[in-house]
């Protein structure tokens, strides 16, 4: 067994340092009347932190796990159960097609910018095209389609809406990266309210995924990248948290050393992309996103479904929405991305479309 390297983590917080970090969230003078109550809550939080109570409520994992007696987080078990129900919906041929449309911008009119994003407008065009794809068929018909709009900008505008960063468990050993992610919530560190528990379920439920994204400094916006990193567990992640008894690095390394199959939990879905920008960088982001989705086992929906476009090339920002109003071609392309994904979903569910190399055994399974 390889050595486990140590020495990067800083020393634990002192009681005084914990106090400084805890009380800053109660800076508003409106809390002054409750300082004694806040101090009592602080002491409880300190004890949870000092004792490392990451998952304060657990239960035996039960049948179907490598170690049924292992005390697993009830929150993780609930998320896992939700993903299993979502997978059952995905596989049910009697249900309508479902397309997840991801708005990858950080901007909306409920926060500092005070205006909707062009990305959101394009995502709404895609949603409208998806919803109209069923024609005269009822909303519960297998031929109908439902658009699920995931607006990642909510992390900038809603209280408690958080996507915590990936901690890189996979780089220690793939089986340490659980599906769904078990790094969160971590109550001892205050890392709670993790939106990814819901986002995982929405990805699993979807037959197709469309990502609409602006380009920030040649790359994906922060909320989009946070989601992407946290989806690493969908590609090779370990669905049995008891096999490593939580985060036991030695056990995870041993499992991968002895053979790991890197399951692709989101394979069998299709995808589309519309990346936009105003100066540079759209090609690189589009390639990176397409390669990522392909790596996870998703199938691209064709030439008109994977696009990068400039909206107002080198034009000013103040009137960029007016520029989009006039760019009827890019609006039509957003609709065509959606129509291509709808067509691909129809073919996939009918068994007429698949990844041509799906049956090949990869010589490099990672």
pLDDT along the chain (366 residues), means of 10: 90 97 97 98 98 97 98 98 98 97 97 97 98 64 86 97 98 98 98 97 98 97 98 98 98 97 96 97 98 96 97 96 98 98 97 88 82
Secondary structure tally for the chain: helices H, strands E? 11, 8
CA nearest neighbour of 55 among 36, 77, 28, 39? 77
Structure confidence at residue 133 (pLDDT):
86
| Tokens 């050595």 sit on residue | 3
CA nearest neighbour of 274 among 203, 209, 211? 211
B/e letters for 250-285, b = 16+ CB within 10 Å, e = fewer, are: ebbbebbeeebeeebbbebbbbbbbbbbbeebbeeb
Structure confidence at residue 153 (pLDDT):
98
CA nearest neighbour of 101 among 179, 205, 193, 180? 205
pTM: 0.95
Structure confidence at residue 143 (pLDDT):
67
* Token duo for residue 43: 């002491």
CA distances from 317 to 220, 279, 324 (A): 19, 11, 11
Give the separation between CA 126 and CA 149, rounded to whole angstroms: 9
Asked whether 290 and 274 are in contact (CB, 8 A), the reply is no
Structure confidence at residue 137 (pLDDT):
52
CA distances from 299 to 17, 61, 199, 208, 255 (A): 49, 34, 20, 9, 30
Q: Where are the domains of the chain?
A: 52-349
- CATH class in words for 52-349: alpha beta
CA angle 95/99/105 to nearest 5° reads 155
Structure confidence at residue 272 (pLDDT):
98
Structure confidence at residue 361 (pLDDT):
86
186 bridge partner residues: 191
């Amino acid at each position: 067994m390889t050595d486990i390297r140590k020495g990067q983590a800083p020393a634990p917080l002192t009681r005084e340092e914990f106090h400084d970090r805890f009380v800053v969230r109660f800076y508003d003078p409106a809390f002054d009347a409750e300082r004694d109550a806040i101090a009592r809550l602080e002491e409880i939080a300190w004890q949870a932190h000092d004792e490392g109570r990451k998952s304060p409520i657990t239960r035996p994992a039960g049948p179907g796990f490598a170690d049924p007696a292992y005390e697993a987080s009830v929150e993780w078990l609930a998320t896992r159960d939700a993903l299993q129900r979502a997978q059952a919906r995905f596989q049910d041929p009697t249900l309508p097609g479902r397309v997840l449309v991801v708005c990858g911008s950080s901007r909306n009119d409920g926060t500092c910018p005070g205006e909707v994003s062009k990305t959101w407008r394009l995502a709404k065009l895609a949603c409208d095209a998806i919803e109209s794809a069923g024609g005269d068929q009822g909303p519960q018909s297998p031929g109908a389609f439902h658009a699920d709009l995931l607006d990642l900008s909510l992390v900038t505008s809603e209280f408690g809406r958080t996507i915590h960063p990936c901690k890189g468990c996979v780089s220690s050993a793939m089986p340490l990266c659980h599906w769904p992610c078990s790094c969160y919530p971590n109550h001892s560190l205050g890392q709670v309210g993790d939106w990814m528990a819901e986002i995982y379920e929405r990805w699993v439920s979807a037959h197709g995924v469309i990502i609409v994204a602006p380009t920030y400094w040649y790359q994906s916006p922060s909320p989009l990248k946070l989601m992407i990193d946290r989806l690493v567990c969908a590609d090779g992640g370990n669905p049995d948290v008891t096999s490593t008894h939580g985060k036991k690095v030695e056990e995870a390394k041993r499992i991968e050393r002895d053979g790991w199959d890197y399951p692709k939990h989101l394979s069998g879905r299709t995808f589309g992309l519309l990346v936009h920008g105003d100066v540079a960088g759209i090609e690189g982001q589009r390639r990176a996103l397409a390669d990522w989705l392909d790596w996870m086992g998703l199938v691209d929906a064709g030439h008109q479904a994977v696009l990068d476009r400039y909206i107002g090339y080198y034009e000013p920002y103040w009137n960029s929405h007016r520029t989009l109003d006039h760019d009827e071609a890019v609006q039509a392309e957003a609709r065509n991305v959606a129509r291509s994904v709808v067509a691909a979903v129809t073919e996939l569910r009918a068994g007429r479309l698949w990844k041509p190399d799906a049956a090949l055994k990869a010589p490099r399974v990672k």
